[in-house]
Amino acid sequence: MATTFNEGERVQVVDREANAEDVKSGLFYNHFRGLTGTVQKIYATQEAVVDVEQESLTEAIVKRHIEVQESMKTKWLDGLSEEAKSRLTESEKDFRLRYSLLVHVSDLKAPDAAAIPVGTRATLAEIEAKEQAYLATRQPTIAPAPTP
C-alpha cells in the first residue's frame, strides 16, 4: 500500500540508488536521497513538488544555492531605479530562492526522527515569549499624572 501525502506535509526523499528509469524520467537523482522538505503541490501523475529545507542540503549545494541567490538579488536590484529601491522595505529586499524538487510520490516517506533539524523550530514557550515581547512594544506607555 502506497503512502499518500498532502500539500503542506513534511516529507523526506527515500534513500535508494537512481536507476535507468529515473534518468529517463528525470524525477530522481542520487543527490536527492535523504533530503527533507514540504510538499507544495501534488499532480495527478503522482509527481510532487517538494520545497527542500536548506538544513538538509549538503554544504556544497548550499554554497552554490546562496551564490545563485545573491547573484539574482544583485541583478534584480541593479535593474531598479534609485527611487524604486528607496521605496523597498528591508523585508522586500530580502530576496530568497526556494530549492524545489519534482519527484514521484513513491520516492517520498515520512521523515526520520534524525531528519528533523534540532534547534531550528521554536518551542511553544519560545513563540509565546516572542509574542509577549512584541505586544509589550505595541502597548502605549502611559505617563504618570503630574502631581499638583
The answer, as to whether pTM is greater than 0.75, is no
pLDDT score, position 49: 95
Say if residues 46 and 106 touch (Cβ distance below 8 Å).
yes
Q: Does residue 30 lie within any of the structural domains?
A: yes
Residue 48 structural domain: 10-112
Query: pLDDT tens digit string along 62-120?
Result: 899 999 999 999 999 999 999 998 888 888 888 888 899 999 999 999 988 765 554 55
Phi, psi of 109 (to 5 degrees): -150, 170
Q: Does residue 20 lie within any of the structural domains?
A: yes
**pLDDT above 80: residue 53:** yes
Q: Does residue 59 lie within any of the structural domains?
A: yes
pLDDT score, position 85: 87
Q: Does residue 32 lie within any of the structural domains?
A: yes
Q: Does residue 24 lie within any of the structural domains?
A: yes
Name residue, grid cell 530568497.
Answer: 96
pLDDT score, position 117: 56
Q: For residue 50, what are the contacts with CB-CB under 8 A and spacing of at least 6?
A: 11, 13, 35, 37, 38, 39, 40, 100, 101, 103, 108
Give the angle subtended at the CA of 117 by the CAs of 43 and 57, to the nearest 5°.
60
- pLDDT confidence of 3, banded at 50, 70, 90? low
Q: Does residue 139 lie within any of the structural domains?
A: no
Total domains present in the chain = 1
Q: Does residue 19 lie within any of the structural domains?
A: yes
- pLDDT confidence of 129, banded at 50, 70, 90? confident
- Is 14 buried (19+), middle (13-18) or exposed (0-12) by CB count in 10 A? middle
